[in-house]
Amino acid sequence: MPSSSRSLRRAGAALASWRSAQWAAATAGAALTAVLVGVPTAVVPSPFFGRTVPVQWWNYPVLAATAALAGVVLATFVRRPGASDPPRADGPGSRLGPLGGLLSFLAVGCPVCNKLVLLLLGSSGALAYWAPLQPVVAVASMALLAEAALRRLSTAEACPLPVRA
């Protein structure tokens, strides 16, 4: 019977075995994610972007959790010291991370600043229908990022790469 691609114990062991390269990648990935999600959505104030609807209190913890989880997921793609091959880019959870990041961007963004939402619902529809859904989208995005991190970390030791001849 094949082993599950999810295990908190294996994920914790993988995190405990990380060296400075993985932690540096996780930190850099978290910072980059915070900027890439936070600045265009104006959760992080900047002179480049603004919002017509104020930032909600829950946008800050969602951005922080998104950044931390994305940093961990990104760091799972860093080659471990002594490893002969890099981690698989198509391994378990590799599609969940980008989807979770996209949903986070949509969740913390201004509901009436999103052109697609405005086109589909109009400004009153964006405020009446999309804005109340954004916290649900935020929870879904964090669940996807957490699942991606769990799957990537759980299979870090499995080394599912094909043997080279």
CA distance 46 to 9: 41
What pLDDT, on a 0 to 100 scale, did the predictor assign at position 2? 46
The answer to whether residues 43 and 55 touch, using CB atoms and an 8 Å cutoff, is yes
Mean pLDDT throughout 48-70? 95
Query: Residues 73-98: pLDDT tens digits?
Result: 999 888 766 665 555 656 666 688 88
CA-to-CA separations, 125 to 20, 43, 54, 88, 119, in angstroms, rounded: 48, 22, 17, 42, 10
* Total-model pTM: 0.84
**Given its phi and psi angles, is residue 56 left (phi above 0), alpha (psi -120 to 50 degrees) or beta?**
beta
Report residue 16: phi and psi, to 5°: -65, -25
Mean pLDDT over the full length of the chain: 86
d(Cα 98, Cα 100) in Å, to the nearest integer? Answer: 5
Query: Which is more confidently placed, 77 or 163?
Result: 77
Report the range out of 103-117, 125-139, 150-164 with the highest average pLDDT.
125-139
Alpha helices in 76-155 (DSSP H): 96-108, 115-125, 131-154
Q: Are 72 and 12 in contact (CB under 8 A)?
A: no
CA angle 65–40–124, rounded 5-degree value? 95
* pLDDT at residue 163 tops 90: no
* Band of residue 161 on the pLDDT scale cut at 50, 70, 90: very low
Percentage of residues of the chain with pLDDT beyond 70? 83
